[in-house]
Amino acid sequence: MTRSTQSRGDCVYCGREMTRGGLARHLQTCAKRQEAQVEANKTRRRSQALYHLQVQNAYDGYYWLHLEMRGEATLQDLDHYLREIWLECCGHLSAFTIGDVRYTQVFDDGMAWGEEREMNAKVDALFTPGLEIPYEYDFGTTTDLVIKVVAQREGRPTTSHPIVLMARNKFEPPACIACGKPATQLCSECMYREDGRCEFCDDDAIEHEHGEMMMPIVNSPRVGQCGYVGPAESPY
Ligand SMILES: [Zn+2]
Ligand SMILES: [Zn+2]
Ligand SMILES: [Zn+2]
Ligand SMILES: [Zn+2]
């Protein structure tokens, strides 16, 4: 699909709408977020390092998430979260690359180029502000993401989950190429046409010559790849 505009999203704490970069800065000073942190510090949750992560699709950054992640959580928790909100189609392998090490499900079979490790590593031993981590889901039809560690703070987590969604891009569906209404499906055959025109509303999808090749359009960078059908919702 083709995109012209930069996507925007809402801060979950105060509701302000901003770009990805605007939110990266805003979340550091959002008064409502700071109130949530004060409340969290009254709980009995264990104080630890907490990381602000910005995740985006490597291709054009239209799809993005701002997350807060507990330092005691593992790369596996982050992998699980990304699969749920954006990626999972048929249980493909995935990998984070940090320095020279790949953290993945299947590791050293002697065929790897570099070092491979399991994903059960706690992130506070790995993450530091400024770090950029390439992530791949599915080594065949790959969805490439980049995870940036934006900031680190010390405190009690604001929820009982390992990861908190602080903002994500709002999704504006492309226009149906036949009638101009918001598209709900794309043709995985026409997707590879030179002009990339492949988006349809439900009515025009039925009329289209490759009706059996339609896939749902949802708020995820994996739309149109392999058997991905969404729902592109946060697991918690
Ligand atoms: Zn805010
Ligand atoms: Zn698949
Ligand atoms: Zn239409
Ligand atoms: Zn088609």
Q: Which domain does 92 fall in, by range?
A: 8-168
Alpha helix (H) residue ranges in the chain: 20-29, 31-40, 75-82, 202-207
Ligand nearest to the CA of 209: 4
Residue 236 lies in a domain: no
**In the chain, what is the straight-line distance between the N-terminal and C-terminal CA atoms, in Å?**
28
- Do 77 and 25 fall within a single domain? yes
197 alpha carbon, closest ligand: 4
Which ligand has an atom closest to residue 212 CA? Answer: 4
Q: Which ligand is nearest the CA of 202, by number?
A: 3
DSSP string, 58-98: TTTS-SEEEEEEETTSBHHHHHHHHIIIII-SS---EEEEE
Q: Report yes or no on 1 lying in a domain.
A: no
Query: Would residue 113 count as lying in a domain?
Result: yes
- Chain-centroid distance, C-alpha 135: 10
Ligand 3 is an ion; its neighbours by CB within 5 Å are 176, 178-179, 181, 201, 204
pLDDT at residue 114, rounded to an integer: 75
Order of strands, edge to edge, in the sheet holding 48-57? Answer: 115-117, 101-104, 94-98, 132-137, 143-155, 48-57, 64-70, 163-168
Instruction: Find the helix or strand (DSSP H, E) in which 167 lies.
Output: strand 163-168
Give the pTM.
0.94
Q: Is 122 helix (H, G, I), strand (E, B) or coil?
A: strand
* Residue 37 and residue 63 in one domain: yes
Number of domains in the chain: 2
Question: Do 53 and 135 reside in the same domain of the chain?
Answer: yes
Q: Which numbered ligand comes closest to the C-alpha of 229?
A: 2
What separation in Å is there between the alpha carbon of 159 and the centre of ligand 3? 42
Compute, in angstroms, the gap from residue 202 CA to the centroid of ligand 4: 13
- Measured CA to CA, the distance from residue 203 to residue 205 in angstroms comes to 5
- Based on the fold, state whether residues 196 and 99 are members of the same structural domain: no
235 token code pair: 């697991």
State the CATH number of the domain containing residue 105.
3.10.290.30
pLDDT tens, residue order, the chain (236 aa): 555 568 999 999 999 999 999 999 999 999 999 999 999 999 999 999 999 999 999 999 999 999 999 999 999 999 999 999 999 999 999 999 999 999 999 765 666 667 889 999 999 999 999 999 999 999 999 999 999 999 999 999 999 999 999 999 999 999 999 999 999 999 999 998 899 899 999 999 999 999 899 999 999 999 999 999 999 999 99
Residues 33 and 76 in one domain: yes
Integer angstrom CA distances of residue 199 from 2, 42, 147, 206, 213: 10, 49, 29, 12, 12
